[in-house]
Amino acid sequence: MPKGPRGKIEKPQDRRKVMLRLGQYLLQQKGLLMICLILTFASNFLVLLGPMLSGRAIDAIGTEAGKVNFELVFWNCGLMLVFYIASSAMTYLLSVLMIRFSQKIVYQMRRDVFEKLVELPVGYFDQHQAGDIVSRISYDIDTVNTSLSNDLLQIATSVITVVGSLAMMIAISPVLVLVFAFTVPLSIVLTKVMTTRLRPLFSKRSSKLGELNGFVEEIIGGQKTVKAYHQEKTMIDRFDQKNLEAVDAYYDADYYGSMTGPSVSFINNLSLALISMFGSLLFLADALTLGTLSSFVLYSRKFSGPINEVANIISELQSSMAAAERVFRLIDEAPELQDAPEAKDLESCQGQVDVEHVSFGYLPGKTIIHDLNLHADPGSLVAIVGPTGAGKTTLINLLMRFYDPDAGAVKLDGYDLRALKRRSVRAQYAMVLQDTWLFQGTVFENLAYGKKDATLEEVMNAAKAAHIHQTIMRFPNGYDTLLTENGLNISQGQKQLLTIARAMLLDAKMLILDEATSNVDTRTEIEIQKAMRKLMEGKTCFVIAHRLSTIQNADTILVVQDGEIVEQGNHQSLLDQGGLYATLYRSQFQ
């Protein structure tokens, strides 16, 4: 996956805060961090000694044949070898430690994100795309990781190298260092000019490519429609337009970007030329030996390298700051409220539900449930009807205490839900939703998910009650068959029956049922209805209804429109009222 094309470059809003928080993560591993810094310092210091030693060796060689001071050459070369080996060993050790260090932090970050994720109110998941959440926990954290393990080292190394080689060069020849008084400002100006010029070009490149990707996703996804209306040509023309913008933006960035590399080498070469010239003059004036000149040339190369790298590191750091910010924003989302300390642990219940004067809105100031009253006796049936997307799940969110009401109270067996432990409230419900949810695991694991220590026999009984036992036995490994995304071919209807069996296994007094709209094949559908009816026996049921037959038997019907409950009553009383329900009901026969 290329780094550039997807998504826009986000600018951190408050860079300092993000840095501080990243810093806190780093400080959790204080010891490792210290060792790493010391190792960086030591290994780079040893590398810096190299040119000095090689210079001494060259001096010991001298310029005339037969006058080589071998003893000194051996001594210096020996030292060089030792230092290089030591430095390489240290660098390796450092990399290993650095990997451990960054992995520890990444582990902690992922863990923090995930643990926050599962504590978030369910509404969060309705509002945020799964892809976006996943990219934070994988791609963004990876970006932070790369930058932690590379950029930190790079910065430390650069600082030591620049300071060290400058010191060495000053020691060798303060006069010759003056060359850098000319080239360093030049490279700083160059870097500055380049980055200010390039940054908008690069972000334009990313955004244009993002637009192109968006267009492609959109049109390829709707390719059938394009074909059906014979608009292939139109779409190709539009694509060409986007494509042109994308390649032009890439070209612009490339055009100017391609100056950076040669310019950097130019400054290096310029330094080399100046040093050669003035070095030779100094050598003539006996102010410099050959060996020191050679050391100086080597140091000068080391010296200018990091300065030119700074621009790169800065842009990488910027993108990792943006990634870290996205991660932190998720960690900072408000979780569900904690249970009150004196909350009661409800072990079992009768299943009497009362909703008393409840008002609720997801956003402050946008109330969608006004003063709702509802009484459901144990074993009664409450149906919720209304057009798709009208907000039928809101009530479910309140009943299971995924949200607390803004005013009034939801009561279970007379207890205000807020006085009960969340876990114990939810344990009273069984739930079958329209989106059947199965995870990668065996059939047994999926069925027994809600009940710890369920025996195979219990699971089988539940499956039998849900009319799915026979089907399971036909799977290759029966109850031990692994359910994977693409592996086993189970139909939507069978999935629905599996989730019903899961619900059967629970000892719940209350049931929440989201009737399936997508008709499964007729025979399975009849099976599902049978299974559901069995599941509903003796339970207080809340059904999001799509079938008028369910509604007619309900003790209470709530009619929902645009998120608000607009009518309440039983079938007959609602028909008599002649409101929305009556219209809805009659219109199906028009």
Partner 1 sequence: MKQIVGYIRPYFGRMTLGLLIKFCGAIMDLLLPWILSYMIDEIVPLKEKKLIFLWGGIMLGCAVISLVTNIVANQMASWVARNTTERVRHDLFSRIMMLSSKQIDEFTLPSLELRLTSDTYNVHRMISMMQRMGIRAPILLLGGIIITLTLEPVLSLVLILTLPFIAILVYSVSRKGIPMYTALQKGTDHMVRIVRENIAGIRVIKALSKTDYEKERFHQGNEEVVRLEKRAGITMALTNPMMNLFLNCGLTGVILVGAWRVNAGLSQPGKIIAFLSYFTIILNAMLSITRMFVMLSKGSASADRISEVLMTPEDLLLEERPRKEESAHLVFDHVSFSYQKKEYNLEDIHFSLEHGETLGIIGATGSGKSTIVSLLMRLYDVDQGEIRIDGRPVQSIPPEELHTMFGVVFQNDFLVAETIHENIDFGRELSLDQIERAAAAAQAGEFIDSLDDGLEHLVTARGTNISGGQKQRLLVARALADHPKILILDDSSSALDYRTDARLRKQLKEKYSDLTSVIIAQRVSSIMQANKILVLEEGRMIGLGTHEELLKSCEVYRQISESQMGGNAHA
For residues 204 and 569, what is the distance between their CA atoms, to the nearest angstrom? 58
Per-residue x/- track, 496-515, partner 1 (CB under 8 A): ----------x---------
- Restricting to residues 64-123, which ones interact with partner 1 according to CB under 8 A? 65-68, 70, 73-74, 76-77, 80-81, 84-85, 87-89, 91-92, 95-96, 99-100, 103, 106-107, 110-111, 114-115, 117-119, 122
Q: Find the shortest distance in angstroms from Cβ 16 to partner 1.
A: 29
- Restricting to residues 287-306, which ones interact with partner 1 according to CB under 8 A? 290-291, 293-294, 297-298, 301
* Residue 270 sits in the site that holds partner 1 (CB under 8 A): yes
Closer CB to partner 1, 19 or 433, in the complex: 433
Query: Which of helix, strand or coil describes residue 381?
Result: strand
By CB under 8 A, name the one of 491, 507, 530, 538 that touches partner 1.
Answer: 491
* Residue 261 sits in the site that holds partner 1 (CB under 8 A): yes
Q: Of 467, 463, 539, nearest to 507 (Cα)? A: 539
- Helices of type H across 10-136: 15-27, 30-61, 70-117, 123-127, 130-135
For residues 206 and 212, what is the distance between their CA atoms, to the nearest angstrom? 10
Closer CB to partner 1, 325 or 339, in the complex: 339
Number of residues that bind partner 1 (CB under 8 A): 154
Closer CB to partner 1, 107 or 407, in the complex: 107
The phi, psi pair for 511, rounded to 5°, reads: -135, 135
* Residue 10 sits in the site that holds partner 1 (CB under 8 A): no
- Restricting to residues 128-187, which ones interact with partner 1 according to CB under 8 A? 130, 133-134, 137-138, 149
Stretch binding partner 1 (CB under 8 A), from 177-185, 190-198, 462-470, 581-589: 581-589
- Which residues have a Cβ under 8 Å from the Cβ of 384 and sit 6 or more positions away? 392, 395, 542, 543, 544, 545, 557, 558, 560
The phi, psi pair for 259, rounded to 5°, reads: -80, -25
Quickly count: other Cβ atoms within 10 Å of residue 434's Cβ: 14
SS3 content of the chain, % helix, strand, coil (to 5): 65, 10, 25
The strand pair at 353-360 and 369-376 is best described as antiparallel
- Restricting to residues 44-63, which ones interact with partner 1 according to CB under 8 A? 50, 54, 57-58, 60-63
* Residue 519 sits in the site that holds partner 1 (CB under 8 A): yes
Q: Of 513, 526, 497, 510, nearest to 432 (Cα)? A: 513
Query: To the nearest 10°, the Cα dihedral for 156, 161, 166, 171?
Result: 120
CA 254 to chain centre: 30
Give me 231's structure tokens.
């608009």
Per-residue x/- track, 522-561, partner 1 (CB under 8 A): x-xxx--x-----------------xxx--x---------
For residues 71 and 53, what is the distance between their CA atoms, to the nearest angstrom? 14
Closer CB to partner 1, 332 or 435, in the complex: 435
* Residue 284 sits in the site that holds partner 1 (CB under 8 A): yes
* Residue 489 sits in the site that holds partner 1 (CB under 8 A): no
* Residue 333 sits in the site that holds partner 1 (CB under 8 A): no
Q: Which helix (H) or strand (E) holds 561?
A: strand 556-561
* Residue 220 sits in the site that holds partner 1 (CB under 8 A): yes
By CB under 8 A, name the one of 433, 488, 566, 575 that touches partner 1.
Answer: 433
Q: Find the shortest distance in angstroms from Cβ 393 to partner 1.
A: 9
By CB under 8 A, name the one of 20, 28, 185, 232 that touches partner 1.
Answer: 232
Q: Are 310 and 158 in contact (CB under 8 A)?
A: yes
Quickly count: other Cβ atoms within 10 Å of residue 297's Cβ: 17
Closer CB to partner 1, 419 or 433, in the complex: 433
Give me 523's structure tokens.
């025979």
Closer CB to partner 1, 481 or 550, in the complex: 550
Give me 153's structure tokens.
């080292």
Contacts by 469-474, CB closer than 8 A, 24 or more apart: 471/497, 472/443
- Restricting to residues 444-483, which ones interact with partner 1 according to CB under 8 A? 449-450
Q: Find the shortest distance in angstroms from Cβ 6 to partner 1.
A: 8
By CB under 8 A, name the one of 195, 203, 243, 359 that touches partner 1.
Answer: 243
- Restricting to residues 183-212, which ones interact with partner 1 according to CB under 8 A? 209, 212
By CB under 8 A, name the one of 431, 501, 531, 535 that touches partner 1.
Answer: 431
For residues 247 and 204, what is the distance between their CA atoms, to the nearest angstrom? 11
Q: Of 317, 401, 319, nearest to 358 (Cα)? A: 401
Stretch binding partner 1 (CB under 8 A), from 155-163, 270-278, 344-352, 412-420: 270-278
Q: Are 233 and 239 in contact (CB under 8 A)?
A: no
Stretch binding partner 1 (CB under 8 A), from 257-265, 323-331, 347-355, 459-467: 257-265
For residues 446 and 257, what is the distance between their CA atoms, to the nearest angstrom? 54
Q: Which helix (H) or strand (E) holds 263?
A: helix 232-284
Q: Find the shortest distance in angstroms from Cβ 15 to partner 1.
A: 27
Q: Find the shortest distance in angstroms from Cβ 145 to partner 1.
A: 8
Closer CB to partner 1, 196 or 522, in the complex: 522
By CB under 8 A, name the one of 13, 28, 258, 477 that touches partner 1.
Answer: 258
